[in-house]
Amino acid sequence: MTKPSTPSGGQQLIARSAINKAIAEAIAEERAGQAYGVTGKVLKNTIIDLRRQTLRRFVRGDHITAQLSEGVDLVVRGLFAAAPENVRSELCIVAVGGYGRSELAPYSDVDLLFLYDPGFEEQLSAALDLFLYPLWDSGLKIGYSAHSAQSAVQFAKDDMVARTAYLDARLISGPDALFGMFQSTYDKLRRKTKSQFVAAKLDEQNKRQAKSFETRYLVEPDVKEGKGGLRDLQTIRWLYKYVYGGSVGGNRAADKVMEPSERRALAKAERFLWSVRAHMHDFRGRADEKLTFDIQPDIAERLGYQDRPDMLAAERLMKHYFVNTVEIGRLTRILCARLEEERAKRLPHLPKLLPRRLQADEAPGKPNLRIHNGRLDFGSAAKARRQPRDLFRLFRAYSKQPKIDFHPAALAIVTEQVPQVVSDVRADPVVAGLFNAILIDAVDPVRVLRIMTETGLLGKYIPAFGSIVGRIDYGLYRRFTLDEHVLRCIGLLAQIRKDGLKKQHPITTQIVQQADNPLLFYVALLLHESIWSVKRKSIAECERLVARISKRLGLNAEDAALAGWASARHLLMVRTAERRNLADIQVISTFAQTVGARERLDLMLVLSVCHLRVVGVQSWDEITRRQLSELYEGAKTWIDQGESAVVEKFEARAAAVRAEAKERLADWADKDKEDFLSRLTGPILRSVDPDIIVRFAHLARAAKKDRTTSAVTVTPRDGDLEAIVYADDRSGLLADLAGAIASSAMSVRAVQALTTRDGKAIDIFVIQSSDGFPIDDVDQAQRVHHALLGVAGASPEKRPSMKRRFGDRRSIFTVEPVVRIEQDASEDATVIETEGLDRPGLLFELTAALSRLGLTIVSAHVATYGERAVDAFYLKTSSGDKITDAKLLSRIEKSVMQVLSAGSNP
């Protein structure tokens, strides 16, 4: 970060005398009947100028908030100075909440408490109008309450929000005696209700954090309310102040609960978060607390971050954000434990002696552990500092019984000793045994591994993991930082192993539960994002790295090689399933040959399921499950029995689908059934469910009866719409249908383009809402049906209208357009894979471009990863041949690249 500006001593950005004079003149003008609302206008211009000058001059958030608070103080005092004498002698204006702490971001609420003498009550309403109307007109967001000293405290007794706000009360203007009476009355309440306040604040914090997935590692965090954000930081200060009656560092008698280094860490994290929040407010021009992708680069630039070869400036900003939120979590844990210890309030359900279960582990000798005030601590701090194994034994004990929380002194020793975890510790087989037991046997592996990460121990023990801590994959696809993603995948694997997801994942459950060595799956999953730690993201280098770490963790040479191979290629199965025609035998054969062994296939399926279930909000659905299952079963058959068995399996599936469809058309005459089924090709029968075949049959019969050439049916399914289009096949049909869907403000999740023996097209679409939310509106289904039916019979005269929906953020990213031509991907078709920035109607534009070249689209496969769209098309010439002409291939590449480049950002 660049060196921030610092306020010069006593210098104000707006002069007190000038603002007092301007306010007095404006009020006088209004009282004389010469103007209306001019006071509010003066204040508004003053506040706008204050914000502009402050943000122009200061970078550091604590300086910005202090200057803004001081400026608002001058405005309020100017109004107070212009008030009548009887008001000034009977009324106090008190800043509370964030304003009371002198922490105002550019568009923060300004919370005021008006304290009055009980005898002033009849004049109170008119007096408040003198202040509130000009302040409202100024554009400030004012929150206020009016009380006597006694009623304010009585209200706070029953209202925890008010009690918290009053903790930071600061007199702006008015009689000191009145404010002093309020302070002393409030302090009596504080002294009597310390335990109640601490419990309420911690409960409030837990509920708040639950709303953000109980994690601080969201890639678009809420800087104020998110876990480890400013609200959590303020909670630390509130707890300290409420219990000890002074600010952190301001009470010598109580400062033993926070060491000087901890107070410095708290101040550093506070400065960083306020810098981010202040510049977010200014950039947005409003009180927006979510650090979204579209503003991360701008905030990074304001705070002095620059791109580096291995990391963008925005990624560096976010890595520092997560480091600071982790620090706030650590300090919260320390303060809560020390408050509990200081007041000798042990939780009754926790043991006083080390439980028998924790008195032995995978290491020799008795663990250096004890229960200290109901928490897990080292028996000897000195020994723990000499013996790194003790650090891992601490976490091993916690993994067995996580209800016994860590003592803060123990975690402090771990953090202190992390630098001592070097090569000899990493090579220690006893440490490996302890760590492996934590991985596979922990009651809550995510929690224990997360704390190991936050202390720095896990990243130091496995540097490849340490290099991804706090790192984001900049884009809309992922929900979490890379390290949090990995830990949640471990948690999902633990659920699968414990039979918790057998119904959703029967194959994966069987693989994991029948494994000879479950550690293989845990280690491979723990390291499956290691490619981010490898220069140039080399798969071969990543494979070697993972294999080397796996050996160190105790896997034999064969399993270590297996973990290395699968972790380095963990997306291979996903990409094949999403981007290829799984009814094509060559796809199955090519994938199976690449995998080569059943052990690799099993491990790859487990990695794929865990990865996809966690990585994105919409990364897992029924289509994904079915695609992975089909690819796995096909590859398993190829590996176990050979390609001929796959051919037999495909033929058997086609025969079974045909038989079931025939049975479900029982009310049809035998001749009609045979006539219809004879029109269906082998690829249709082996790639489409019987239910769709039956619906297609009824569409075809209805169209024939009505003497029409096209028909459409739309069916709600799992929050999406499934549309089947029956029409005469023609060049550009798929493009017209894709355009109709885009013009209905919908997006295509999956598409199958099939053709019958007699030249009829069966196009099957799975359609999603553009925002990803479930479709439950009948009008939407009707709109899609109308649009598809309108273009099924003939090409529309006008180009479809496609607009970005409000809130579509894909355009803020840059995706380098890529076109890949893969002749070996299919035996009888040419596969064109396109990759670029997603946008409304992209599928329409790509298919239209291909149609203009006179090509036949045999099938299309849609995959979307946040802002990145990857579409694969199986193409043939108009005569039904594979494309071999080099000039035509060049024209295809050029045409498709033009479409992709038209939507990419410079």
Residue 351 CB contacts under 8 Å (≥ 6 apart), including other chains:
371, 374, 404
Q: Which uninterrupted H or E stretch holds 834?
A: strand 830-837
Listed in order, strand segments (DSSP E) in 297-340 are none
Q: Which uninterrupted H or E stretch holds 866?
A: none
Tell me how far CA of residue 507 lies from CA of 151, 493, 627, 731, in angstroms.
65, 13, 13, 41
Averaged pLDDT, 387-415: 94
Q: For the chain, how are helix, strand and coil distributed in percent, rounded to 5?
A: 60, 10, 30
The rounded distance, in Å, linking the Cα atoms of 873 and 32 is: 78
Residue 386 CB contacts under 8 Å (≥ 6 apart), including other chains:
none
Give me the helix-helix angle, 519-526 and 539-552, nearest 10°. 130
Q: Coil, strand or helix: which one is 873?
A: strand
The rounded distance, in Å, linking the Cα atoms of 376 and 97 is: 36
Q: Is the pLDDT of residue 718 over 50?
A: yes
State both tokens at 431: 């440490």
pLDDT for residue 661: 93
Q: How confident is the model at residue 5 (pLDDT cuts 50, 70, 90)?
A: very low
pLDDT in tens, 877-905: 988 899 999 999 999 999 999 999 986 55
Q: Are strands 142-147 and 110-116 parallel, antiparallel or unpaired?
A: parallel
Tokens 């006539």, located at residue: 675
Residue 645 CB contacts under 8 Å (≥ 6 apart), including other chains:
637, 638
Give me the helix-helix angle, 622-641 and 572-579, nearest 10°. 110
pLDDT in tens, 109-167: 999 999 999 889 889 999 999 999 999 999 999 999 999 999 999 999 999 999 999 99
Other C-beta atoms lying within 10 Å of the C-beta of residue 177: 10
pLDDT for residue 79: 93
Q: What is the DSSP string of 576-620?
A: HHHHS-TT-HHHHHHHHHHH-SHHHHHHHHHHHHHHHHHH-TTS-
- Write a three-state SS string for 680-711: CCHHHHHHCCHHHHHHHHHHHHHHHHCCCCCE
**What's the pTM value of the predicted model, to 2 decimals?**
0.85
Beta bridge partners of 94: 113, 171
Q: Is the pLDDT of residue 575 over 80?
A: yes
Q: Is the pLDDT of residue 342 over 70?
A: no
Among 33-37, 146-150, 510-514, the minimum mean pLDDT is found in 33-37
Q: Coil, strand or helix: which one is 372?
A: strand
Q: Is the pLDDT of residue 530 over 90?
A: yes
